[in-house]
Amino acid sequence: MNYNWDWGVFFKSTGVGQEIYLDWFVSGLGWTIAVALVAWIIALILGAVLGVMRTVPNRLVAGIATAYVELFRNVPLLVQLFIWYFLVPDYLPEGLQTWFKQDLSPATSAYVSVVVCLGLFTAARVCEQVRTGIQALPRGQAYAGLAVGFNLVQVYRHVLLPQAFRIIIPPLTSEFLNVFKNSSVASLIGLMELLAQTRQTAEFSANIFEAFTLATLIYFVLNMSLMVFMGWVERRVRVPGLMVGGK
Amino acid sequence: MSAMISIQNVNKWYGDFQVLTDCSTQVAKGEVVVVCGPSGSGKSTLIKCVNALEPFQKGEIIVDGISVGAPKTNLPKLRARVGMVFQHFELFPHLTITDNLTIAQTKVLGRSKEEAMEKGLMYLDRVGLKAHAHKHPGQLSGGQQQRVAIARALAMDPVAMLFDEPTSALDPEMINEVLDVMTELAQEGMTMMCVTHEMGFARRVAHRVIFMDKGHIVEDCDKESFFGSPRSERAQQFLSKILQH
Amino acid sequence: MDFSQIVPALPALMEGMVVTLKLLVMAVLGGVVLGTFIALGRLSSNAFLSGLAKAYVNYFRSIPLLLVIIWFYLAVPMLLNWITGDFVPVGAFASCLVAFMMFEAAYYAEIVRAGIQAISRGQVNAAYALGMTYGQAMRLVILPQAFRKMLPLLLQQSIILFQDTSLVYAVGLMDFLNSARSRGDILGQPHEFLIFAGAVYFVISYCASYIVKRLQKRLVV
């Protein structure tokens, strides 16, 4: 069989409107970033709350957070996505259901599902990192916070969390990268993010290798930029004289 | 003299293990009491009970007229009135020295930033570290960190100070700079309860010495009689061991 | 919800589970073996070899698994076509297996590398002092110790892989999730079958994680 190598394919017309294949990649990348960033914000906030819950001296509160983590870590991401996209909307209250199924465009409803799914899924992982970070701190820090008159909320806010987050920046970075990679499951419920556009380009143009090589490159560059960004964050919050990750 | 800290029949268990048994003593206003004893004797636990960092199951502790064990006591408020200095300093490593000195003043006492800063810097100056105000704790030596920790506690205008082995994590050459600050504080009339092995400090500064062993208060007397003629055999052994150095 | 239809569908779901487990076991074995060689490459003093191994690991760690699955599904038949000259039907299972093996090898390689590095340098020297070759030292002395230490991590990664096998849905392979979904659609009970599939994944992953945790404690003591 003859394979027609053609690296110029990205500038050729897709046959759909005025678009060239590169336009598809650009719009795909846009969706990927839009999914990952919003999901990451949800994961960070919820994960921090859950991580704190796992360390408080209250069995019920800690138990709820533990149950959350076990549930979201032991069910495959794709199953969770199907549940959020196919199942949950049917059990929403009447008004919300019509809004989700009829008022939203298919792309928007897929987007909402995948952002919620990925946010809650990643929160379980962030939770475990936050918990590890808090538990890595010397016990005396919590004592000292209480001794100066802080209540429990203030101890977490001013003493424990600022230190814990600094310790866990490296593992958080890899979770941050995972959100971008995991957002590719959105292609399986029809959201035209980067991977879906790649597959479509491969199938439309028959230039499989070029399409997937470009996608790989984009993911690669995306990874590198995120790592550079997180490295910058780490340097910005670095505390002089404090060995991060030590102790 | 009225009692600033009153400890009455305090008992504490970790599970089945009893760490404190019927501990009773008092610290009067302006009094300096040194608590000593072998490791594991419960002295650190006892002092942590005073500001409720450790809960106790039986007995009562009253600080400045407030019951520590009572369920309706506002513990943050109580702790804000009692200064505590820890073995490992426990400055907040992510904050600068000035932030360490001011954060509790603003967030707990509700003081303005300016007022807190003024007070914090005044005490920092008193412990001789004003030049280090903008550094982080990790950039200071152990002795310097402990002096900042004392300033942090003093900036809250405490009615009493608790010291939990303040010099035992320090290199020998740094112990005196911390003890000097503590001595000065005692001479100004601060009420102090100090868990420490520094018998020289106890001899010079303390009014009373408490000796603990296996969760019991074995000796509780003025320092002259403690160093002159301790009644219990355990205290005699402890003293002879520690004074050999 | 009405779960009564699930019982008669069990044989079909079981078939799907067999596909999932077959894929899992073969991918784990292949991935660990390939990953071990890559780890040895990364630790090699040969700059070219270690650079190549590092590039392999970085490459697969920066792209989504789903991309690899789809790419291989489209590309493997084509590659075989070039090599053999005529059309060889490979099917989704084979292309998925290759994708998982190569992708997971990058993750296993990092675990194995850390495991080998945790063995003290003295063990290598002792093995060399006894006259062993590099291959013997690795095979007889270093790797057996390293594998014992990293067994929990390898198993944890394999539990993640077990969940990730569900991604073969993308290329239509009839694994456990896909057969549950198609049964559910045919019988008009997609919700029930989806919940059931999720529950099965949960129970297996949860129990496996629990066992790994126990194992980890026993290995530490």
Query: What's the confidence (pLDDT) of residue A65?
Result: 97
Residues B49 and B18 in one domain: yes
Q: Chain A window 101-130: which residues touch B at a Cβ cutoff of 8 Å?
A: none
What pLDDT is recorded for position A246? Answer: 38
Residue B238 has pLDDT above 60, yes or no: yes
Rounded distance between C-alpha atoms, residue C98 and residue C133, angstroms: 32
One digit per residue, the tens of pLDDT, for chain C of length 221 reads: 788 888 888 998 999 999 999 999 999 999 999 999 999 999 998 999 999 999 999 999 999 999 999 999 988 888 887 887 777 777 899 999 999 999 999 999 999 999 999 888 888 888 888 878 888 889 888 998 899 889 999 999 999 999 999 999 999 999 999 999 999 999 889 999 999 999 999 999 999 999 999 998 887 65
Q: Give A212 to chain C, closest Cα distance, Å.
A: 7
Is B136 a residue whose pLDDT tops 70? yes
Cβ(A147)–Cβ(B76) below 8 Å: no
In a shared domain, residues B75 and B11: yes
- Residues 6 or more apart in contact with residue C128 via CB below 8 angstroms: C137
Touching status, chains C and B (3+ beta-carbon pairs under 8 Å): no
Specify the pLDDT at position A243: 54
B243 and B165 fall within a common domain: yes
Interface of C with A (CB under 8 A): 59, 62-67, 70-71, 74-75, 78, 81-82, 87, 163-164, 166-167, 169-170, 177, 181, 190-191, 194-195, 197-198, 201-202, 205-206, 209
Residues from chain C contacting residue A201 (CB–CB below 8 Å):
none
Q: How many CB atoms lie within 10 A of CB C123?
A: 14
B187 and B217 housed in the same domain:
yes
Chains with 3 or more CB pairs under 8 A to chain C:
A
Could you say which of B158, B181, B213 is where a domain stops? B158
The answer, yes or no, to whether residue B129 has pLDDT greater than 70, is yes
Q: Do chains C and A touch, with touching meaning 3 or more CB–CB pairs less than 8 Å apart?
A: yes
CB–CB of C177 and A79 under 8 A?
yes
Q: Tell whether B74 and B177 lie within a shared domain.
A: yes
**Nearest residue of A to residue B140 by CA position?**
A241
Among B135, B158, B181, the domain boundary falls at B158
A212 has a pLDDT exceeding 80: yes
Q: Distance, in angstroms, between B225 CA and closest chain A CA?
A: 33
Nearest to A239 among B48, B93, B103 (CB): B93
Which residues on chain C are in Cβ contact (under 8 Å) with A212? 67, 71, 74-75
**Does residue A246 fall inside a structural domain?**
no
Are B189 and B171 found together in one domain?
yes
pLDDT-above-70 percentage for chain B: 99
Nearest to A241 among B53, B109, B137 (CB): B137
Mean pLDDT of chain B, nearest integer: 92
Where does residue B30 fall: left (phi above 0), alpha (psi -120 to 50 degrees), or beta otherwise?
left
pLDDT tens digits along B11-25: 999 989 999 999 999
B135 chain-A contacts, CB cut-off 8 A? 240-241
Total number of domains in chain A: 1
B66 and B140 co-located in one domain: no
Assess whether B143 and B173 both reside in one domain. Answer: no
Measure the CA–CA gap between B35 and B87, rounded to whole angstroms: 14
Closest by Cα among C58, C89, C67 to C76: C89
Per DSSP, chain B holds a count of helices (H) and strands (E) of 9, 10
A86 chain-C contacts, CB cut-off 8 A? 190-191, 194
Whole-angstrom distance, CA of residue A58 vs CA of residue A236:
35
pLDDT of residue A16: 78
Q: How far is A68 from chain C (nearest CA, A)?
A: 12
Does A2 have pLDDT greater than 70? no
Give the domain extent around B150.
87-158
Structural domain includes residue A81: yes
Q: Is A71 on the interface with C (CB under 8 A)?
A: yes
Report yes or no on A50 lying in a domain. yes
pLDDT of amino acid A247: 36
Give C-chain residues touching A77 at CB under 8 angstroms: 163
Q: Enter the tokens of residue A238.
A: 């670095």
Distance CA B54, CA B47 (A): 9
The DSSP call for residue B16 is: T
Residue A181 to residue C202, Cβ atoms within 8 A: no
In a domain, A108, yes or no: yes
Contact A242 B90 (CB under 8 A): no
pLDDT of B35 > 80? The answer is yes
Residue A185: CATH number of its domain: 1.10.3720.10
Proportion of chain B above pLDDT 90, given as a percent: 84
Categorize the per-residue pLDDT at B33 as very low, low, confident or very high, splitting at 50, 70 and 90.
very high
Q: How many CB pairs under 8 A join A and C?
A: 99
**Fold type of domain C10-220:** MetI-like fold (1.10.3720)
d(C-alpha A7, C-alpha B177), whole Å: 73
How far apart CA C87 and CA C79 sit, in angstroms, is 10
pTM, full prediction = 0.86
Q: Which residue has the higher pLDDT, A204 or A66?
A: A66
Measure the N-to-C terminal CA separation of chain A; round to a whole number of Å. Answer: 61
Q: Check residue B217 and give its pLDDT.
A: 94
Contact C166, C201 (CB under 8 A): yes
Reported as a pLDDT band with limits 50, 70 and 90, residue B31 is: very high
Lowest model confidence (mean pLDDT) among A69-73, B138-142, C126-130 = C126-130
- Structural contact between residues B105 and B111, judged by C-beta atoms closer than 8 angstroms: yes
pLDDT tens string B146-196: 999 999 999 999 999 999 999 999 999 999 999 999 999 999 999 999 999
Nearest CA in chain B to A239: B94
Q: Decide if A174 touches B, using CB distance below 8 A.
A: no
DSSP B19-73: EEEEEEEEEETT-EEEEE-STTSSHHHHHHHHTTSS--SEEEEEETTEESS-TTS
Report the pLDDT averaged over residues B88-93: 92
Least Cα separation, residue C12 to chain A (angstroms): 19
Half-sphere exposure for A5 (CA within 13 Å, toward CB): 1
Amino acid A244: pLDDT? 45
Q: Is residue A2 part of a domain?
A: no
User: Which amino acid is it at B59?
Assistant: G
Query: Dihedral of the CA atoms A235, A237, A238, A241 (nearest 10)?
Result: 150
| Domain interval for residue A196 | 22-237
Which of B158, B183, B215 is the C-terminal boundary of a domain? B158
**pLDDT at position B244 over 80:** no
H helices of C44-90, in order, are: 47-61, 65-84
The total of structural domains in chain B comes to 2
Distance CA C85, CA C121 (A): 49
Per-residue pLDDT at A1 exceeds 60: no
pLDDT tens for A74-86 read 999 999 999 999 9
